[in-house]
Structure 1
């Protein structure tokens, strides 16, 4: 029952979120899955590491597909997401925690900057 309530809450959170809130959720999800991948890697549970890396890759694909290509900044975001995707795949293949740390750091920077931009937009709106 508790699991069902949690899933309902999460579904409601996603369906009522603004596009900027959804992006923030994706960043937070990617960070969570990278942490889980690193933990699985430390436990030598390579199947779980692979599973969590795939979740990060799927988030990156979603972020890339949501970019509005008519804005020049989107090209820069796309390049960074593509780089992070390549590095995540490489970390998964090599089972390299340092690469996962690098990708996590990039996601944290994106998330923190995004949160700051959201706050600024709210204060100006």
Structure 2
């Protein structure tokens, strides 16, 4: 008797529920990490002449970049969002060509762009989130703030 399929289903269900409850800012970080990982796997597949793995990993990256692109709010994000839209669209045009010509340079360039975007996201967005969380916790611990609330009926 094997419990492997049910264990795998449990892990997949857990992973799906964890992702669906993640903070949107954390999700962007997960998407960048996933895209970079799949690009590295696609590059390895090209080196190993593994057409199936190359195609699977490129498809995953294209889906991730499509999601990143779809999540942009150009009206609210202004120039930065417009720049990202152009960059993502360029990636979405260039990456499918890799399936035809095995151009590792396109993969390496895309990895560099995504690593830089990830670094900027961590430095500019995630650090702001951490600072605001620390401020909220400090405020919650401040006796002056706590004393202004009364639990007496």
Distance 1:69 1:103 in 2: 22
RMSD: 1.6
TM-score (norm 1): 0.89
* Selected match of 2:19 from 6, 14, 18: 14
1:33-72 to 2 correspondence within 5 Å? 33-70=38-75, 71-72=77-78
Cα distance, 1:124 vs. partner? Answer: 4.0
- Match status 1:92 vs 2:99: yes
Segments ≥4 residues shifted beyond 4 Å:
none
Who is 2:35 aligned against?
Answer: 30
Q: Which runs of 5+ in 1 are unaligned?
A: none
- Output one character per residue of 1:59-113: Cα deviation in whole Å (capped at 9) or x when no partner: 1111111111212121111011112222212222211112111111111111111
Where relative contact order (Cα < 8 A, 6+ residues apart) is larger, the structure is 1
Task: Say which one has the larger Rg.
Answer: 2
Who is 2:130 aligned against?
Answer: 122
Alignment size in residue pairs? 125
